Structure 1
């Protein structure tokens, strides 16, 4: 059993170079996509990702906000899945806060590029796997 889920899960997340996010399509099927790690996190309950406003994932979250985020430590075969909801944020303040130098590679119009938005995924529960066992935890 994890003594401190926030520290254990937070450490696992901070060491990963890839995050996997899940959404639900219009037919009710799960869709999973590899993403760059979150730009910002609030503990282990809120995660901020950059993405394209025109993306399939954004359209799916607007239709159905159910979301999951998965982080995997391949070296030690540990992972954490967290379930919650996604919001598509397009306000200037959030976009500027999450923006990083070099993002013009993806969004040539800069921080005001209409194809740049932020996904905020807020999780309510999770499941952690390590040492051949899994445990659920509230967030």
Structure 2
């Protein structure tokens, strides 16, 4: 995995960037998973996330009979986004979806809240584990809303682009 920085970005290490991404992922209960439809369109779906640590893989539980799972089976390129608006932190992960059958992983991820989607519980035959193998990711973090508002206001008054609006890091897996 390598890290790519542009002049506008901070200089977080690769490990610090992944740690920051993990923190956002742990604190955001709903991620947005975007798939490519049969017509070639992008379609986004909210997905419950239970990401404890991010090691390059993101896991979800989906329904075998859902459009999103069918789309991932046919076109595995996906994107997953997390937004923690309160902290001004955002993560985007592009990767490849894999449909997996793994009872141990299912038991690790299972939470009784999934009962609402899978009435048969953990043994519901319609459960499909979805593993997103990250190919790249991006993290955005701000130092706070007030600081950003002042920077934006200063830019509007001076006519100069806002600078120092936070951190932006890109990693490849």
- Give the shorter-chain TM-score range: 0.7 to 0.9
Compute the TM-score of the two structures, normalised by the length of structure 1.
0.86
Unaligned runs of 5+ in 2: 1-9, 143-164
User: 2:31 maps to what in 1?
Assistant: 19
- Cα 1:110–1:17 change in 2 (3 A) is closer
Deviations 1:2-25 (A, max 9, x none): 231121111111111211111111
CA–CA separation in structure 1 for the residues paired with 2:105 and 2:89: 32
Contact 1:52 1:58 in 2 (8 A): yes
Compute the TM-score of the two structures, normalised by the length of structure 2.
0.70
* Larger Rg belongs to: 2
How many equivalent pairs are there? 138
Deviations 1:7-50 (A, max 9, x none): 1111111111211111111121111111112x345524111111
User: 1:57 maps to what in 2?
Assistant: 68
1:60-71 correspondence to structure 2 within 5 Å: 60-71=71-82
Unaligned runs of 5+ in 1: none
Contact 1:41 1:47 in 2 (8 A): no
- Cα 1:102–1:29 change in 2 (3 A) is closer
Report which stretch shifted further, 90-99 or 1-10: 90-99
The runs of at least 4 consecutive aligned structure 1 residues that moved more than 4 Å come to none
Which of 89, 96, 99 lines up with 1:85 in the alignment? 96
CA–CA separation in structure 1 for the residues paired with 2:25 and 2:107: 23
